[in-house]
Amino acid sequence: MLLQAFLFTVLSSFLLISFCSHSPPSEASDKFGARDCVCGGGSSTRQERGEAQPPEPAPAQICPLPGEVINTFSIHGNATVGTSIRYSCLSGADIVGSTENFCQVNQTWLHPHPACKKLFCRPPKEVEQGYVVAVQKTEYEAGFDIHYLCKKNYLLDGPQKITCLSNGSWSASPPHCRARCVIPAERSRVVIGGEKRWPFDVTDAMVPHGENVAFYCKHPKKQCSFTAAQTCFDGKLQTPECYLEPTWLQYKLFPHRLVSEIETCAPGDVE
Ligand SMILES: *[C@@H]1O[C@H](CO)[C@@H](O)[C@H](O)[C@H]1NC(C)=O
Ligand SMILES: *[C@@H]1O[C@H](CO)[C@@H](O)[C@H](O)[C@H]1NC(C)=O
Ligand SMILES: *[C@@H]1O[C@H](CO)[C@@H](O)[C@H](O)[C@H]1NC(C)=O
């Protein structure tokens, strides 16, 4: 009888161990001496057996991941003991070193953390009529700034500065330097910036890129005028279709009858 009980104990503990050895137990025995077989994340039944609960749940055994690593990589998997993680560079660059790592039982990583290949920015495309305020290079490091200026009478359209990003792209496309426009009217006034002016009174008879110019057009049937606006875009400014440049004779002999000088149409007159 005694022998039978002994055999049973030996046999059952053998079975318990061999069962656990199929998949590595995360915890084969604990400090209370009770044998807990927790295979593949199964939950312990310590409570059901009426044993004392540990005062606090034991913190998960993890390997440390420094902030620098977390900021550089996207990490696949978790850092718990006995598991592996995979790295990929957030910048999209290739990895230098091992792309996989294993969290060892003593909470250290099997391999050192890898690094990401440094990416460089290629020279941005040239800006016509612009100056680059930087040393010209064949490649630029992350964080490098290029400042732009436009030649006299050209207007900067876009960012004044672009920065090389760590993924090898520029923070923005380079800007454009946009040309001024000649006001395509001579013998009638136009409205620029809310002011009614003779084109020859405007500096160089030109407006900057992006400026709106309102031209006076004559009503097809009535003796009144209305305005039609056009925008200067990089040196191109056209008169609206309704605008008719007065002749030299009209301008000299009947200045008060020029289209920009007659009364403006009532709102109802213009469709
Ligand atoms: C660890 O990752 C596995 C799968 O990647 C997941 O099933 C498990 O819940 C994770 N564990 C923790 C503690 O986050
Ligand atoms: C952790 O364990 C590994 C493998 O068992 C060993 O090589 C390493 O030296 C240990 N590290 C520390 C800090 O104990
Ligand atoms: C680089 O990063 C910026 C901002 O995070 C993003 O807009 C851009 O598409 C990225 N470029 C490449 C080549 O991944």
How many domains are there within the chain? 3
CATH number, position 246:
2.10.70.10
Whether 188 and 255 map to the same domain: the answer is yes
**198 and 171 inside one domain:** no
Residues 78 and 110 grouped into a single domain:
yes
Regarding whether 161 and 195 lie in a shared domain, the answer is no
Same domain, 217 and 147: no
Q: What is the mean pLDDT of residues 11-16?
A: 41
Q: Which atom of ligand 1 is nearest to the CA of 76?
A: 5
pLDDT digits (tens, 9 = 90+) for 229-244: 999 999 999 999 999 9
Task: Please indicate, yes or no, whether residues 170 and 197 belong to a single structural domain of this protein.
Answer: no
Q: What is the pLDDT of residue 125?
A: 93
Question: Using an 8 Å Cβ cutoff, are 49 and 66 in contact?
Answer: no
pLDDT tens-digit series, residues 184-204:
999 999 999 999 999 999 999
Tell me whether residue 58 is in a domain.
no
Read off the pTM.
0.61
At residue 4 the predicted structure's pLDDT band, cuts being 50, 70 and 90, is: low
Is 167 near ligand 3, meaning CB less than 6 Å away?
Answer: yes
With the most atoms of ligand 1 within 8 angstroms of its CB, the residue from 43, 61, 78, 103 to mutate is: 78
Domain presence at residue 124: no
User: Would 90 be classed as within a structural domain?
Assistant: yes
How far does residue 234's CA lie from ligand 3's centre (Å)? 29
State the DSSP H helix or E strand holding residue 95, giving kind and residue range, or none if neither.
strand 95-96
Closest ligand (CA of 142): 3
Q: Which residue range forms the structural domain that includes residue 190?
A: 181-269
Structural domain contains residue 195: yes
Listing DSSP states for 204-221 in one string gives GGEE-TT-EEEEEEE-SS
Is residue 81 domain-shared with residue 147, that is, in the same domain?
no
The whole-number pLDDT of residue 271 equals 63
38, 27 Cβ separation under 8 angstroms: yes
In a domain, 62, yes or no: no
Q: Looking at ligand 1, which residue's alpha carbon is closest to its atom 10?
A: 78
Same domain as 232, residue 205 = yes
Q: Does a structural domain hold residue 251?
A: yes
Closest C-alpha to ligand 2, atom 4: 104
Q: Quick one: pLDDT at residue 26?
A: 43
Judgement on whether residues 185 and 262 belong to the same structural domain of the protein: yes
Nearest CA to ligand 1 atom 11: 78
Q: Is residue 60 part of a domain?
A: no
Q: Model confidence at 169, in pLDDT bands (50, 70, 90)?
A: very high
Do the Cβ atoms of 112 and 97 come closer than 8 Å? Answer: yes
Residue 218 lies in a domain: yes
65 burial (CB, 10 Å; 0-12 / 13-18 / 19+) is middle
